[in-house]
Amino acid sequence: MVEGVGDEGWRWPAAPGFWQRVVGQLGTALIVVDPAGRILAVNPAAERLLGRAAAAMVEEDAHDLLHRDAHGGRIPREQCPLLRAGAERAEARGEGDICVRGDGGLIAISWSASPLTDDGAFMGMAVLFTDAAGDRSARRERAAYTHALEDLTERLTLVAEITDVLGQTLETDEALARLGRLLVPRLADWAAVDLRVGSGQVHRVAVTGPGGRDAAQENWRERLPEAGEEARSPLVQVLHGGDPVLQREADVAAPTASALSAVHGGFLRAAGATSAVTVPLGSRRQITGALTLVRTDPAHPFDADDLTVVSDIGRRVGLVIDNARRFGRQRAVAEAMQRNLLAPLPQPGRLRLAARYQPAPAGSQVGGDWYDAFERKDGTLALVIGDVVGHDLTAAAGMAQLHGILRSLAWDHTGPPGAVVDRLDDAMPAITTVPMATLVLALLEGDPDTGPWTLRWTSAGHPPPLLLTRDG
């Protein structure tokens, strides 16, 4: 085989007939026309598409032979874009132009044309063309596939975002408020959350619509019917461990039997639901409640894929609510402990004591911070501010240990406050579970009625006390 070298160093086969074989095997229809528009060559793909033999097309005028309007009528030559491109010796393309096949049928084509030159001389145009209907079908398929991928990506992104955002709070109400803002309007027009409560009731705790939280539809409670008592109610089914439920418009209008399903059905009708999904919060073994999403556009109902996504969201939300509830129970215990340990302040003589206990960020309302004030055996006043590392029940328990030990050590000790703190530091690893703590212990000496008073204090890693005078 003889080879030649192209402009950029590629080596092109140059054997006689090579390019004819390439064109013959090309799957896209191709015709070549001369500068006047007569057909010089036709490949087999063009024969098949146009229903004409090459011999019947070669030397014929391409425009007169093939080009027609939508009704099969001839088109004036001056309106032919291919002839115009040939006259201008320029590339051109078209979409939806009509050609007549050999059997008289009409076919819409998409085409592109490029000028052919030989040593600078214009030789004609090479025209590639395809079935426009097939192109549109392929484009629709590609568009549908792309849309499906985008939709899947959006759903996965939403699930990941919900997991991330809800994981940042241990407050149930705040978690549900965030959930509503994430779901409406991205996935639904309305969202409602129902939680099971210990008394065998269902409590609707959050309803979010186009205008945000709808308090008028929240805060109702109804008894949860026994399993099987009302098989047609999706909410009852889900709360008893049934599968997630997808409701169409006809299902939404179905009659109800219990007070719970009546309230739920009333919500769906009030929201104008044309489709709804109800999924459990949590797992089958531990169902915390139910999540219901509503769409109001009949042209965009929920489908099976939506049900799968919302079910995944329900599992994750249920876990967040369970964690928040456990945290709430733990916090309630710790807060009760703190309230009992933070005893009323004494008010000896003219001295007036006041304390303010202000939590820092949400989630640190419970922990190892404490203050104390008590009169010692000799009548002097002891003041304490302390902090056990941590913001949980363990820290609160450690605080309780140090609170009691410090009172015992300081009550009858006559030495300076530093000696009391030294004894506490020695005792901590032996008789407490506290890993680390800081505190300030101050002793206020002087007659409580007449003064003057002297404040002696020591700090174990804690910021020092401040004296604020009348002038600020």
**Residue 452: cis peptide before it, omega within 30 degrees of 0:** yes
The answer to whether residue 128 scores a pLDDT higher than 60 is: yes
Mean predicted confidence (pLDDT) in 52-76 = 93
Higher pLDDT, residue 230 or 237:
237
Q: Are 425 and 459 in contact (CB under 8 A)?
A: no
Range of lowest pLDDT (26-40, 155-169, 383-397)? 155-169
Residue from 30, 74, 67 nearest 48 by CA: 30
Q: What is the pLDDT of residue 162?
A: 80
Mean predicted confidence (pLDDT) in 37-46 = 93
Average model confidence (pLDDT) across the chain = 84
Q: Which two tokens stand for residue 123?
A: 């030789």
Instruction: State if pTM tops 0.85.
Output: no
Higher pLDDT, residue 28 or 148:
28
Range of lowest pLDDT (98-107, 346-355, 432-441)? 346-355
The answer to whether residue 76 scores a pLDDT higher than 90 is: yes
The answer to whether residue 295 scores a pLDDT higher than 80 is: yes
DSSP-assigned states of every residue in 394-459 = HHHHHHHHHHHHHHHHHHT--S-HHHHHHHHHHHHHHH---S-EEEEEEEEES-TTT---EEEEEE
172 Cβ contact partners less than 8 Å away, ≥ 6 residues apart? 205, 321, 324, 325, 328
Alpha-carbon gap, residue 163 to 317, rounded angstroms: 8
Mean predicted confidence (pLDDT) in 444-450 = 85
The answer to whether residue 460 scores a pLDDT higher than 90 is: yes
The answer to whether residue 9 scores a pLDDT higher than 50 is: no
Burial class (CB in 10 A: 0-12, 13-18, 19+), 282: buried
Q: What is the pLDDT of residue 138?
A: 59
Higher pLDDT, residue 414 or 342:
414
The answer to whether residue 164 scores a pLDDT higher than 90 is: no
The answer to whether residue 176 scores a pLDDT higher than 90 is: no
Alpha-carbon gap, residue 234 to 99, rounded angstroms: 58
Q: Which two tokens stand for residue 340?
A: 């009992």
Top-confidence range, 69-83, 160-174, 243-257, 329-343? 69-83
459 Cβ contact partners less than 8 Å away, ≥ 6 residues apart? 438, 439, 440
Mean predicted confidence (pLDDT) in 2-27 = 59
Beta bridge partners of 3: 13
Q: Give the CA count within 13 Å in the CB-facing half-sphere of 16.
A: 0
Beta bridge partners of 223: 201
CA angle 28, 33, 37 (to 5 degrees): 130
% of the chain exceeding 90 in pLDDT? 40
User: How would residue 369 be classed by pLDDT, with cut points 50, 70 and 90?
Assistant: confident
Q: What is the pLDDT of residue 433?
A: 86
Q: What are 303-324's pLDDT values in tens digits? A: 998 899 899 999 888 888 887 7
Q: From the CB of residue 381, how many other CB atoms can be counted at a distance below 10 Å?
A: 22
Can you state the percent helix, strand and coil of the chain, rounding each to 5? 40, 25, 35
194 Cβ contact partners less than 8 Å away, ≥ 6 residues apart? 202, 203, 204, 205, 235, 239, 264, 289, 290, 292
% of the chain exceeding 70 in pLDDT? 84
DSSP-assigned states of every residue in 163-228 = HHHHTT---HHHHHHHHHHHHTTTT-SEEEEEEEETTTEEEEEEEEETTEE-GGG-S-EEEPPPTT
Range of lowest pLDDT (183-197, 378-392, 406-420, 422-436)? 378-392
**Residue 448: cis peptide before it, omega within 30 degrees of 0:** no
Higher pLDDT, residue 230 or 129:
129
DSSP-assigned states of every residue in 334-388 = HHHHHHHHSPPPP--TT----------STT-SSSEEEEEEEE-TTSPEEEEEEEE
Q: What is the pLDDT of residue 30?
A: 93
Q: From the CB of residue 103, how many other CB atoms can be counted at a distance below 10 Å?
A: 8
Given its phi and psi angles, is residue 451 left (phi above 0), alpha (psi -120 to 50 degrees) or beta?
left
Q: Are 94 and 111 in contact (CB under 8 A)?
A: yes
The answer to whether residue 21 scores a pLDDT higher than 70 is: yes
The kind and range of the H/E element at 113 are: strand 106-118
The answer to whether residue 405 scores a pLDDT higher than 90 is: yes
CA angle 315, 155, 234 (to 5 degrees): 45
Mean predicted confidence (pLDDT) in 449-467 = 90
User: How would residue 6 be classed by pLDDT, with cut points 50, 70 and 90?
Assistant: very low
Q: Are 245 and 278 in contact (CB under 8 A)?
A: yes
SS3 89: coil
Mean predicted confidence (pLDDT) in 8-15 = 48
What are the structural domains of the chain? 3-136 (3.30.450.20), 167-329 (3.30.450.40), 342-460 (3.60.40.10)
CA end-to-end distance (rounded Å), the chain: 102
The kind and range of the H/E element at 326 are: helix 304-341
Residue from 221, 209, 157, 215 nearest 180 by CA: 209
For residue 465, the 8-state DSSP code is P
Q: What is the pLDDT of residue 59?
A: 94
Alpha-carbon gap, residue 304 to 211, rounded angstroms: 27
